[in-house]
């Protein structure tokens, strides 16, 4: 037999032996609505092939279902669109904040990166000049005074930094 939930109109196929003659409580598997169901004599009648089924009742139930579904969908759609709009606004604000933070961080970090690269390159040049001092002086005799003054200046800067600390 087919039983219809009075709350949501969902239909279920249930074995006749599960419902006693005095009736019993049933629970809808879709909406969890509980109601008392009693087998009525109308449901026990067997339809003959030549009998026509009245479709007006079925059509009205279908229209009621569609109306209920549309009524439920409209507020849900409005709420969903509002929630989606709010999420989009929050995401766009977050992206704007992130891009502004990245821009300020990039400027500061770029300068710091260039400074580090410059210092490392300068130290590498000094080490290279110190290592190749003798062969360079042999090739360029006037370079000895310049290198001596450069190393004395670096020593003075080193002592100055140590005094500051």
| pLDDT, tens digit, 9 for 90 and up, residues 116-152 | 999 999 999 989 988 998 999 999 988 889 989 988 9
Place of tokens 């770029």: 110
pLDDT of residue 41: 47
Q: With beta carbons less than 8 A apart as the criterion, state whether 26 and 37 touch.
A: yes
Count of CB atoms situated within 10 Å of the CB of 5:
20
Going from the C-alpha of 117 to that of each of 110, 112, 136, the distances in angstroms are 11, 9, 26
How far apart CA 150 and CA 80 sit, in angstroms, is: 72
Give the angle 10-15-16 at the CA atoms, nearest 5°.
110
On whether the pTM is more than 0.75, the answer is no
Digitized pLDDT (tens) for each residue of the chain, 165 residues in all: 788 888 888 888 888 788 888 888 888 888 888 888 887 744 555 555 555 555 555 666 666 666 666 666 566 667 777 777 777 777 777 777 666 656 656 677 888 889 999 999 999 998 998 899 899 999 998 888 998 998 899 999 999 999 998
Tell the residue number behind the tokens 């000895």, with chain if given: 144
C-alpha closest to that of 26 among 44, 47, 8, 46: 8
């Amino acid at each position: 037999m087919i039983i219809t939930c009075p709350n949501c109109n969902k239909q279920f196929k249930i074995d006749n032996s599960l419902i006693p003659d005095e009736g019993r409580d049933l629970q809808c598997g879709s909406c969890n609505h509980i109601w008392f169901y009693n087998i009525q004599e109308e449901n026990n009648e067997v339809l003959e092939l030549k009998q026509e089924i009245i479709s007006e009742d079925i059509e009205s139930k279908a229209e009621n279902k569609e109306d209920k579904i549309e009524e439920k969908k409209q507020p849900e759609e409005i709420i969903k669109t509002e929630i989606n709009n709010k999420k989009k606004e929050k995401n766009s604000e977050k992206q704007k904040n992130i891009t502004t933070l990245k821009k300020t961080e990039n400027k500061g970090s770029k300068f710091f990166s260039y400074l580090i690269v410059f210092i490392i390159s300068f130290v590498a040049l000094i080490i290279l000049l110190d290592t190749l001092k003798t062969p360079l002086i042999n090739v360029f005799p006037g370079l000895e005074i310049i290198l001596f003054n450069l190393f004395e200046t670096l020593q003075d800067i080193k002592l100055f930094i140590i005094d500051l600390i």
